[in-house]
Amino acid sequence: MARKVFYISDGTAITAEVFGHAVLSQFPMEFEAITIPFVETNAKAEAVKKQINDSFITTGERPLVFHSIVKPEIRDVIYSSEGLDYDFLNTFVAPLEQQLGVSAAPVLHRTHGKANHSYEARIDAINFAMENDDGQTLKHMDKADIILLGVSRCGKTPSSLYLSMQFGIKAANYPFTEDDMDSLKLPEALKRNKHKLFGLTIDPVRLQEIRQSRMENSRYSSLRQCRMEVKEVEMMFKKERIPYIDTTNHSVEEIATKILDMTGMERHMF
Amino acid sequence: MARKVFYISDGTAITAEVFGHAVLSQFPMEFEAITIPFVETNAKAEAVKKQINDSFITTGERPLVFHSIVKPEIRDVIYSSEGLDYDFLNTFVAPLEQQLGVSAAPVLHRTHGKANHSYEARIDAINFAMENDDGQTLKHMDKADIILLGVSRCGKTPSSLYLSMQFGIKAANYPFTEDDMDSLKLPEALKRNKHKLFGLTIDPVRLQEIRQSRMENSRYSSLRQCRMEVKEVEMMFKKERIPYIDTTNHSVEEIATKILDMTGMERHMF
């Protein structure tokens, strides 16, 4: 049976999840995760403690408990459970206090809260990505931070949205479609913003799989068409000296961070 | 001068950033952060070490180094720098190995890689959120996991996108506009999926600010109009017994996780 894991926080629990997930992904075994956010009151903490203890009784194994709890009195209740505590906030805060010569002043909801000064810029970036997706307009290209190019279904949309959501970057994207293939060229609004262009490409076999699941047995999803489009677009990237990456074996996180790494664009954290 | 912080990884560095940001946000001071992802070779690790050491020489303070480096030989190079290491992977992996009786088998790119079994489902969810944003179609409501409702600019779009991106949830959203206000009612496709409906509301003064920055001095952005729309929509939520939350003082992360918490929907991690 998969080992039980609890991710607990008095905030969103996103940090506890990311932290626990990163640590546990180093182990070649399965875990069964339960996330409990917003544990803000003693009553809720006691209920969570009971849930942890019940899991211990049922399974005979002490559940792993990853938490990022800011309030000391809530943390104490969780500590007193039968779970095995992995408390990365506390583990690192004490040594840091010593190094910095500054006492921590924990404030709830600071990690993923709205207090962050660049919050408005992030929402603007998300709206920008939505409104400038898939070449639906070229009016705002001058305001874009980056413009992703590529064939249909190579990963432009998720990458643009991730760049905006995670890093507050205004990402537009523009597709090259079947009709463009005879004479691939950059529209004027893109030429003018050439330094912002970044290409995505993909293995034609993988592209065909993705297109098949959307539009079965069409010309659009034929291997022949996929091969041709990828080849033409890659040639264009080379000719125009547009930097590009292959998305085939990469997650959205990897594509987005590779783009930032290659372009030297700054990351904003939220 | 702000203390220098490095976030370093042989992967995307997203985990190192989230981890460092969560720890440092407990301190009431400013930091200057530099993120260096994809440190995969010895040569790159040596260059990063030099950068850390240079920063020490220039500022006279040892930089803080948060890292999540999987490869031991890369980690050793970073350890040998003048930075102060905060290595949360290693700190927790050893005690976990003992508890689990299982050796860690570190694999690069597992945390934010594509290997994750539900990766396709996530991309499907992102595409779903895009295609079913802002009520542009009601054809796919039967396939939605959740449908967010609210007035224009109350936070529906960022919340839908975040739910899909972070948790793999198929989130649609539907706006109530000025024209609906005389007799607010749910379209048939929403009525049929009543158990999926979730409302967002917002403080009218804040709403007015947001609308002003998009369409200055219009009826749409008048306080009177904002008040009226919010009041009508909240009344409808109550009458139809649609659960809802106020987004005014909350980040996208908080809104999304509150929705999951209140609906009991499962979170998928990526």
CATH of the domain at A145: 3.40.50.300
Which of A128, A210, A245, A254 is the best residue to mutate to test the B interface, defined by the most B CB atoms within 10 Å of its own CB?
A254
Asked which of A41, A67, A100 is the last residue of a domain, the reply is A100
Please tell me the predicted confidence (pLDDT) of residue B132. 97
- If asked whether residues B86 and B135 sit together in one domain, one would say no
Chain B: closest CA distance from residue A213 (Å): 11
Of B88, B106, B253, the CB nearest to A88: B88
Provide the pLDDT for residue A37: 94
Q: Which of B6, B19, B21, B34 is nearest to B90 (CA)?
A: B19
Boundary of a domain, candidates B67, B100, B133: B100
Domain CATH number, residue B49? 3.40.50
Shared-domain flag, residues B92 and B178: no
Q: Looking at residue A267, what DSSP letter applies? A: P
Asked whether residue A61 falls in the same domain as residue A195, the answer is: no
Same domain as A31, residue A123: no
> What does the alpha-carbon distance between residue B24 and residue A216 come to, in Å, rounded to a whole number?
50
Q: Which residue has the tokens 């262009």?
A: A197
Name the residue range of residue B44's domain: 3-100
Average pLDDT, chain A: 92
**Looking at the domain assignment, is residue B114 inside a domain?**
no
Q: Is B227 annotated as a binding residue?
A: no
Confirm whether A113 is domain-assigned: no
Strands A244-246 and A146-151: unpaired
A247 annotated ligand-binding residue = no
Residue-wise pLDDT tens for chain B (270 aa)? 799 999 999 999 988 998 898 899 889 899 999 999 999 999 999 999 999 999 999 999 999 999 989 889 999 999 999 999 999 888 998 889 999 999 988 776 666 666 555 788 899 999 999 999 999 999 999 999 999 999 999 999 999 999 999 999 999 999 999 888 988 999 999 999 999 999 999 999 999 999 998 888 899 999 999 999 999 999 999 999 999 999 999 999 999 999 999 999 988 766
- Let me know whether B123 and B187 are in one domain: yes
| CB neighbourhood size of B91 (10 A) | 15
Share of chain A above pLDDT 70, in %: 96
A11 touches chain B (CB under 8 A): yes
Tell which residue, B153, B145, B251, has the closest CA to residue B198. B145
State yes or no: pLDDT of A187 exceeds 80. yes
B36 to chain A: closest CA residue: A261
Q: How many CB pairs under 8 A join A and B?
A: 205
User: Among all chains, which residue has been given the structure tokens 């000391």?
Assistant: A72
- ∠ CA B192-B198-B199, nearest 5°, is 120
The confidence score (pLDDT) of residue B111 equals 63
Residue B144 in domain? yes
In a domain, A107, yes or no: no
The residue from A53, A68, A100 where one domain ends is A100
Residue B185: both structure tokens together:
């009612």
Phi and psi angles of residue B70, each rounded to the nearest 5 degrees, phi first: -85, -40
Q: Is residue A268 part of a domain?
A: no
One domain, residues A149 and A229: yes
Query: Hey, is the C-beta of A131 within 8 angstroms of any chain B C-beta?
Result: no
- State yes or no: B224 annotated in a binding site: no
- Chain A nearest CA to B107, separation (Å): 7
Is residue A90 in some structural domain?
Answer: yes
Say whether residue A102 is in contact with chain B using an 8 A CB cutoff: yes
Question: Does the pLDDT value for residue A211 go beyond 60?
Answer: yes
Q: How many helices (H) and strands (E) does chain A have?
A: 10, 8
- Quote the pLDDT of residue B270: 61
What are the Cα distances from residue A30, in Å, to A5, A71, A257, B74, B81?
A: 10, 31, 28, 27, 36
Residues of B in contact with A33 (CB under 8 A): 269
User: For residues B161 and B126, is the Cβ–Cβ distance under 8 A?
Assistant: yes
Which of residues 191 through 230 in chain B touch A, CB cutoff 8 A?
none
B41 with B139, same domain: the answer is: no
For residue B151 the two structure tokens come to 């007035």
Which chain B residues contact residue A166 at CB under 8 A? 14
**Residue B47 is assigned to a structural domain of this protein:** yes
B235 close to A (CB below 8 A): no
Q: Give the pLDDT confidence score for residue A112 in this predicted structure.
A: 67
At B70 the pLDDT is 87
Q: What pLDDT does A19 receive?
A: 87
CB-based contact A14 B253, cutoff 8 Å: yes
Q: Are residues A259 and A142 in the same domain?
A: yes
Angle at B34 between CA A255 and CA A118, to 5 degrees: 80
Same domain, A71 and A138: no
B255 with B181, same domain: the answer is yes
Residue A164 has pLDDT above 60, yes or no: yes
Which residues from A are below 8 Å from B18, CB to CB?
A: 14-15, 18-19
B94 and B191 inside one domain = no
Split into its structural domains, chain B has a count of: 2
Residues of chain A found within 8 Å of residue B13, distances taken between Cβ atoms: 257
Give A18-55 pLDDT, tens digit per residue: 889 889 988 988 999 999 999 999 999 999 999 999 99
Residue A70's pLDDT is what?
87
Residues B70, B169 within the same domain: no
Residue B115 backbone phi and psi in degrees, to 5 = -60, -25
Q: Is B264 annotated as a binding residue?
A: no
